[in-house]
Structure 1
């Protein structure tokens, strides 16, 4: 039986490369994108199914879940990958509205999508929820970046982005406790060169996607919640 995998933000960057690898491995991949034309182009190139989904819009997310329900009847893996960087201004200059914009995608978008797809995950034998996070969302690392430079050499005080990823990690933990039948994982792909950071990352998309794919394809019995990166566990 094929694995049904839904990936948000799959028309470019880490989402695209993750979708490519999983489709190549035999998954039936729903490649999520908020732009219909770009999504269809990406899905065609990937050998995936296009899924129109704007994770900041309740109706769009509900329609996407309805499409997958009608076509596949279940979801084995949900990957909350879509995200934005937000402003890089000093923390004291950011407003609540600045943070709200970032949280609406990185946090509330994951909530919308997870809630809509939970009934489909429940139909799977061994469902997995994978949230693409960042070591910048680690409270442990942010509390003492210098002491954890080996885990995150490129730490930055990005108030909106870091706090949104910390909140995403909390979603992972609470979903894992609330729905023990779902294997819930946060993944740090590493500082990857993508549109999100103006291609300033220190590793390629291919390298960054490896950690996401590894989390998705981990043994079904792997306990959750977990926060993992390319080199193993990341401190919460």
Structure 2
């Protein structure tokens, strides 16, 4: 690839990466707003979260198109192709995280409209949401800096989020066992907690892709993130 084409390729990649980080920031705000709306019960805020999902989807379509054009025009190979493939997976995880935020808002709206509140709005949900948002933010930071160590920390943080989800699950099961009238409401809150937990999984996926971009090592479905090729 000539120097001119190489520079053009780098510029196009940088534009795509900037767009991903913009999309990621939007999803972060969407998730935080969804958690806050669950706590406050504000229907207007819930609707705004749901409406934002269209904007997230538009980002995904634009980035996917940019990646397709990049491959067609530049025909990248080796590390450059690996980068474009990983970017496509990262965008998918961000879009699905946005879907989860919209689901939280939808379920919260359903709870609010149902009127009854036999199950208290658990503060643990807010804590769980904060953990997931922090993971997502850290995953995006690791992408911006191409920082393998930071990406590994994101993957390691997933256990704390899983533990928080399991604590919420045990608490809600207790409510349902003690008072069957709480079952419908408790199940809706479980779905909200599960959606938050899944955002953490998507953040961990993003971090795994950062490791793949930098090191060429695919750490998906492994017990622990592998060392980079440079460190091995």
Q: TM-score, normalised by structure 2?
A: 0.32
Choose between structure 1 and 2 for higher RCO, CA contacts under 8 A separated by at least 6 residues.
Answer: 2
More helix by share: 2
More strand by share: 1
Q: TM-score, normalised by structure 1?
A: 0.31
Larger Rg: 2
